[in-house]
Chains A and B, each alone.
Chain A
């Protein structure tokens, strides 16, 4: 069994600029309640992915999303809107409908290469506008395989 790395609730990650060996360092929140990783638009700017966010906001059609139609809308997005926007917006990888506590949101996803402790992680991340920025990066459980989380290990700053 390979040794698992023990990490805390807050960790520094390196995020690589797409297709390069250059990276930026950011504080990340380790969030087992999130499925995928998310980065704030401020980070996206540094990575040269900000236009993905702005273009997405501009080109994504206004849709009425409710609890009842969201499965159907999700299907429409998957089959028609996503392929179209992927052609129009370089760097856009996927569009996903996320049911959150406070309503349903639609988020653009980009490919991302991360480095957390001793592991390189090739993944996708959503671009979000996280207004209060203690943690501009949020690492979701999908990218936490091979780690053990010790909630007492690091100093976690509460918002």
Chain B
């Protein structure tokens, strides 16, 4: 494990030597950034209007704006002061996040707040501007609450060194900012696939808190193009060390949102990779073009042999699992991760809650013994397998489970469940006597592709 990059080292070793005062000034000024990006032919959201002072605010023609746009402070930070308007309702009012509705007076009031500097860096008077609203790409539909996610690429010396997908949540009010409660998801630089996820207060997570959808293994489309654009964006603004935020628009593809001169350090937690080593490896290189930067990135940060398993999701001893039952029942349970058990097992009670009542009623008619002696286990297993397959369509197999020198016979049914950010389908044994320490115990057959940390979430 390498060195974690802290704030002091980031500022003294990387930001100050590599980011000139002028470049930082440009990056902090979103409109100036936009100008530089457009001049370099890079994609960014269309500008609809700029309001520099009260006079311009007074004269501003709000009706000239389309029904959907975003109102932003020019020197804003951390997503504060941004109003997203999705469209107009029947009364001609704009609809915003969280069922908020804005009329022209509301927009004027908010713009006035922006001009006063209420959302700007060190509260200096600010400029407001309106730009085109970027729309959610299909690929992120199941992992975004209301707003659009953005992709943060950390670019150093024209080489992308780390990437993170930031997802909006209910808690973050549809914004992708981590300190507001958005989710940071690490992205493998080489193939653009998501790895681990972290969120404020929740810590390491594997499922989206609002939808219970897996966060790992999401393949971000157009990945190499995203990396290339990020290199060019850092260069256009003049930053040697930059956090480039890119939104993948439904229609336009990658669009640069902003370029940060002081990108945060949480990206390390989301990736579970430390930054310092990566930055040191890139520091002395001469990178002449974005193409070169991209190829260096891929060579340097390709997975090494044996490192690949570190990208597997890590499970603790207890994990939240969402089990898909009959009739679209999705039931959350806390499962025990048990490498000592072969097949994943649920209690009869869990099976009932999942809607397998018919299957359970059918099995009553069979006289399944509670346990059988070791020498009779194989015969009993075969006997009951034949019977159970003919019994009811949910039952597909039986399992003979060693316990205290005897065998327990348990019937099995197919089940899908989400564990550690993955959807698994398996045949799951049912403990008909309900004798199981947890409502669900995950056995080793379903644990391939995960790592288990016995020290995590002990209680």
Per the bound structure, the CA–CA distance linking A132 and B455 in Å amounts to: 29
Per the bound structure, the CA–CA distance linking A101 and B407 in Å amounts to: 11
Q: Distance in Å from the Cβ of B100 to the closest Cβ of chain A?
A: 43
Residue in A6, A146, A151 whose beta carbon sits within 8 Å of that of B444 in the complex: A151
Q: Is the interface of A mostly helix, strand, loop or mixed?
A: loop
Cβ–Cβ contact A149 & B454, under 8 A: yes
B450 interfacial contact with A, CB 8 Å: yes
Cβ–Cβ contact A150 & B309, under 8 A: yes
Cβ contacts under 8 Å, B1 to chain A = 1-3
Residue in B314, B374, B447, B454 whose beta carbon sits within 8 Å of that of A151 in the complex: B447
Cβ contacts under 8 Å, A2 to chain B = 1
Q: Distance in Å from the Cβ of B419 to the closest Cβ of chain A?
A: 13
Interface stretch, picked from B76-84, B113-121, B168-176, B337-345, is B337-345
Cβ–Cβ contact A145 & B404, under 8 A: no
Per the bound structure, the CA–CA distance linking A102 and B444 in Å amounts to: 20
The digit string for A114-151, where 1 denotes a CB below 8 A from any CB of B, is 00000000000000010110000010010011111111
- A151/B450 contact (C-beta < 8 A), A1-B1, A101-B403 known: yes
> Considering only CB atoms, which chain A residue lies closest to B452 in the complex?
A149
Cβ–Cβ contact A103 & B402, under 8 A: no
A156 interfacial contact with B, CB 8 Å: yes
Cβ–Cβ contact A101 & B436, under 8 A: yes
Cβ contacts under 8 Å, A101 to chain B = 403-404, 408, 431, 435-436
Most central of B317, B340, B374, B453 by chain A CB within 10 Å: B340
B66 interfacial contact with A, CB 8 Å: no
Q: Distance in Å from the Cβ of B240 to the closest Cβ of chain A?
A: 29
A63 interfacial contact with B, CB 8 Å: no
Q: Is the interface of B mostly helix, strand, loop or mixed?
A: loop
> Considering only CB atoms, which chain A residue lies closest to B454 in the complex?
A144
A94 interfacial contact with B, CB 8 Å: no
- A33/B451 contact (C-beta < 8 A), A101-B403, A159-B402 known: no
Residue in A132, A138, A150, A156 whose beta carbon sits within 8 Å of that of B451 in the complex: A150
Per the bound structure, the CA–CA distance linking A31 and B340 in Å amounts to: 4
B406 interfacial contact with A, CB 8 Å: yes
Cβ–Cβ contact A141 & B436, under 8 A: no
Cβ–Cβ contact A152 & B448, under 8 A: yes
B441 interfacial contact with A, CB 8 Å: yes
Cβ–Cβ contact A148 & B453, under 8 A: yes
A62 interfacial contact with B, CB 8 Å: no
Cβ–Cβ contact B406 & A102, under 8 A: yes
Q: Distance in Å from the Cβ of B392 to the closest Cβ of chain A?
A: 25
- A4/B405 contact (C-beta < 8 A), A31-B340, A150-B309 known: no
> How many A-B contacts at CB < 8 Å in the complex?
82
A-facing residues in B397-420 (Cβ within 8 Å): 402-406, 408
Cβ–Cβ contact B340 & A6, under 8 A: no
Per the bound structure, the CA–CA distance linking A153 and B451 in Å amounts to: 10
A106 interfacial contact with B, CB 8 Å: no
Per the bound structure, the CA–CA distance linking A156 and B1 in Å amounts to: 28
> Considering only CB atoms, which chain A residue lies closest to B309 in the complex?
A150
Residue in B309, B312, B338, B402 whose beta carbon sits within 8 Å of that of A33 in the complex: B338
The digit string for A18-35, where 1 denotes a CB below 8 A from any CB of B, is 000000000001111110
B449 interfacial contact with A, CB 8 Å: yes
Cβ contacts under 8 Å, B444 to chain A = 9, 151, 156
B430 interfacial contact with A, CB 8 Å: no
- A132/B374 contact (C-beta < 8 A), A6-B309, A151-B339 known: yes
Cβ–Cβ contact B312 & A150, under 8 A: yes
Per the bound structure, the CA–CA distance linking A6 and B450 in Å amounts to: 12
A155 interfacial contact with B, CB 8 Å: no
Cβ contacts under 8 Å, B146 to chain A = none
Per the bound structure, the CA–CA distance linking A3 and B14 in Å amounts to: 27
B291 interfacial contact with A, CB 8 Å: no
Residue in A100, A147, A150, A153 whose beta carbon sits within 8 Å of that of B403 in the complex: A100
B53 interfacial contact with A, CB 8 Å: no
Cβ contacts under 8 Å, A153 to chain B = 309
> Considering only CB atoms, which chain B residue lies closest to A9 in the complex?
B339
> Considering only CB atoms, which chain A residue lies closest to B272 in the complex?
A1
Interface residues of A, Cβ cutoff 8 Å to B: 1-4, 6, 9, 29-34, 100-103, 105, 129, 131-132, 138, 141, 144-153, 156, 158-159
CB<8 Å pairs between A and B, sample of 21: A29-B340, A31-B339, A32-B317, A32-B338, A101-B431, A102-B371, A102-B408, A102-B435, A129-B405, A131-B374, A132-B402, A146-B455, A148-B314, A148-B451, A148-B452, A149-B339, A150-B452, A151-B450, A151-B452, A152-B448, A158-B342
Given contacts A100-B403, A101-B404, 10 further A-B contacts (CB under 8 A): A2-B1, A30-B339, A102-B371, A102-B403, A102-B406, A145-B455, A146-B455, A149-B452, A150-B309, A151-B450
